[in-house]
Structure 1
Amino acid sequence: MRKIIAAFDGLRYSSSTRDFAIHFCKETNAHLVGVFLDDIMRTSYRISDAVSGEGTTDNRLGKLNKKDQRMREASSADFAIKVKEEGLSFSIHHDYNVAIRELLHETMYADMLVIDGHETLTNYAEPVPTDFIRDLLSNAQCPVVVVPVQFKPVSKLIWLFDGQPTSVHAMKMFCYVLPEFTGYPVEVITVKAAGKPAYMNDHKLVREWLKRHCPKAAFTVLKGDAETAITQYLKSVKEQPLVILGAYRRNTVSRWFRPSMADNLIRNLKLPVFIAHNK
């Protein structure tokens, strides 16, 4: 049985993370862990809320902290109720120290992480993907699925392939972690510059390997700039795809999937994105 973890800010609970995680676990019979990042420095209020108003500062602060605790308890309870309704094996972790450090440690002992691309673990809104997500993706020790704010069941897989080890590693990890999903329609997309032959790099080796995992995979070669061509193509896909790509590292990255490419997919397409890198 695999272990899938879903990360939550209990003060800004993501029902999308919950529903995607449940979806993946139902399909794979995986054990689901709700990781609630109850960082002691994270509050729903600002300092100004505690130092202004009626009563003493200590009283106001006590009331605000109790309100936060109730919110966290309600989030955790909702997670437990929804997962029980689906009959899944699950557990809940409450991590109280620095959120990013705690979550990265959790990824060492997980097969996959699910998280909302809007998570900040602060009171401030940030462009998607947030600084928290960028840091997580650069250092996670397991594949990460970054999900949009609205849940829709996955009905298709799209693998972005550029012939580099990072993109191949991502598809390998997907097949190992979520083999049940390889029965879904699979499309392999590559991009060639204008004037270049319209075939994939290592196409014989790719087909030979993929035939053992996704024997009915279809192959699409796009022309032009990779970022533009892929974005436009994905916008035209009618199914609900899960996009698989493989480079979110601080140092060497795949020639296509520099952070701006992954960021663009997460920010503009509102699709779940499976990201795995080999360090």
Structure 2
Amino acid sequence: MMKVLFISDGVDVEQGAFEFIKEINRRSPVFLYGIFLPKRSLGYWLLRAGSFFLLPPYNFQTEEKLIAAACRFSDLCREHHINHSSYSGRGEAPLLKLRRESRYADYLVVSYTIFQQKNKKLRKPRQYLSRILHHCECPVIVVPDQFVFPSKNIIAFDASASSVYALKQFFYLLPDLGANSTILVNVGANNNKNGGLNKTNLESLTINHYHSLDPTCLRLNTANELSEWVVSQQAAILVAGACGRSRASQLIKRSFLSGILKDKRMPLFVAHR
């Protein structure tokens, strides 16, 4: 049974992210651990470099909202037969909590709505995602409020160790989705820095994991062209690798991924080492 983390704004249970988890649980049961934090603090604590930063004391209204959200979460989990537990953001530094729980979790599911909060320093969705990746020690799945559950996988591949790692982690963690139709998209695999695209090695790996893989590695010429093509795909999930938590991922800096985050219609799976 997979352990799945779920971050919420402490006001409500984001329906898109929970719907994704509900369908995953229907296919193969998971243990879901919900982390609830006040809405105003999500961007606030992501900006804190120190892992020992504690959230300020909650007022009575915030306390009530957190309790209501956690109760709603428990009710939904029981209704859909999901094993679960939760944490309401008190008594422990949020960054330490996220890091500790993610170290012992299989993956984290978070809603796109977190990336829409206004913050002077985190102006773009990819900046929020980079911060979450920086403090998280497991793969991250970002889910929009409105989406069609994936029946197609799009793997952003640049022949780097991180993109191969993401390709493998996606199949290991979500094998039911790995059985879907899969397309590899070349996002710089011919770059000599990554050793170039070795089709023989790639096929020897993917043939045993992705049985419905299109053997053609789609190549588009510009970031905008790539972004437009990806967001035009229906009922798909994008899989991307990241280059570690110590700095923002090269893929996350790419404008095509920023466009996908801005579009808010496709789930995104990011694995980092």
**TM-score bracket relative to the smaller structure:** 0.7 to 0.9
1:222 aligns with 2:219: yes
1:188 aligns with 2:158: no
The Cα shift of 1:25 comes to 2.5
Tell whether the 8 Å contact from 1:14 to 1:116 is kept in structure 2 after alignment.
yes
- Which residue does 2:157 correspond to in 1? 161
The Cα shift of 1:183 comes to 1.5
**Percentage identity across aligned positions?**
22
In 2, Cα distance between equivalents of 1:246 and 1:72: 33
In 2, Cα distance between equivalents of 1:10 and 1:107: 19
SS of structure 2 residue aligned to 1:149: coil
Tell whether the 8 Å contact from 1:42 to 1:121 is kept in structure 2 after alignment.
no
- The root-mean-square deviation of aligned C-alpha atoms, in Å, is 3.1
- Which residue does 2:175 correspond to in 1? 179
- Which residue does 1:92 correspond to in 2? 86
Q: How does 1:94-113 map to 2 (within 5 A)?
A: 94-96=88-90, 97-113=92-108
AA aligned opposite 1:222? R
In 1, Cα distance between equivalents of 2:243 and 2:142: 12
SS of structure 1 residue aligned to 2:204: helix
- Which residue does 2:253 correspond to in 1? 259
1:243 aligns with 2:238: yes
The Cα shift of 1:185 comes to 1.6
- Which residue does 2:59 correspond to in 1? 65
Residue number among 106, 125, 132 corresponding to 1:129 in the alignment: 125
AA aligned opposite 1:104? R
Flag the structure with larger Rg: 1
- Give a deviation string over 1:129-169, Cα, whole Å, max 9, x none: 16543211123200000122324322211111111111110
1:276 aligns with 2:271: yes
Tell whether the 8 Å contact from 1:145 to 1:275 is kept in structure 2 after alignment.
yes
Q: How does 1:111-122 map to 2 (within 5 A)?
A: 111-119=106-114
Tell whether the 8 Å contact from 1:4 to 1:25 is kept in structure 2 after alignment.
no
- Which residue does 1:30 correspond to in 2? 30
In 1, Cα distance between equivalents of 2:129 and 2:144: 13
AA aligned opposite 2:103? M
- Give a deviation string over 1:242-278, Cα, whole Å, max 9, x none: 1000025444855xx2523433321235311100112
Q: Name the CA shift for 1:143/1:77 in 2 (closer, same or farther; >3 Å).
A: same
Greater alpha carbon shift after TM alignment, 22-31 vs 104-113: 22-31
Tell whether the 8 Å contact from 1:146 to 1:273 is kept in structure 2 after alignment.
yes
Q: Name the CA shift for 1:160/1:91 in 2 (closer, same or farther; >3 Å).
A: same
The count of corresponding residues between Structure 1 and Structure 2 is: 249
Tell whether the 8 Å contact from 2:138 to 2:271 is kept in structure 1 after alignment.
yes
- Give a deviation string over 1:154-195, Cα, whole Å, max 9, x none: 22111111111111100111111111221122111115799x
Which consecutive residues of structure 2, in runs of 5 or more, have no partner in the other structure? 43-56, 191-195
Q: Name the CA shift for 1:12/1:98 in 2 (closer, same or farther; >3 Å).
A: farther
SS of structure 2 residue aligned to 1:274: strand
- Which residue does 1:211 correspond to in 2? 207
AA aligned opposite 2:146? Q
Q: Name the CA shift for 1:71/1:264 in 2 (closer, same or farther; >3 Å).
A: same
TM-score, with structure 1 as normaliser: 0.77
Greater alpha carbon shift after TM alignment, 185-194 vs 214-223: 185-194
In 2, Cα distance between equivalents of 1:30 and 1:73: 23
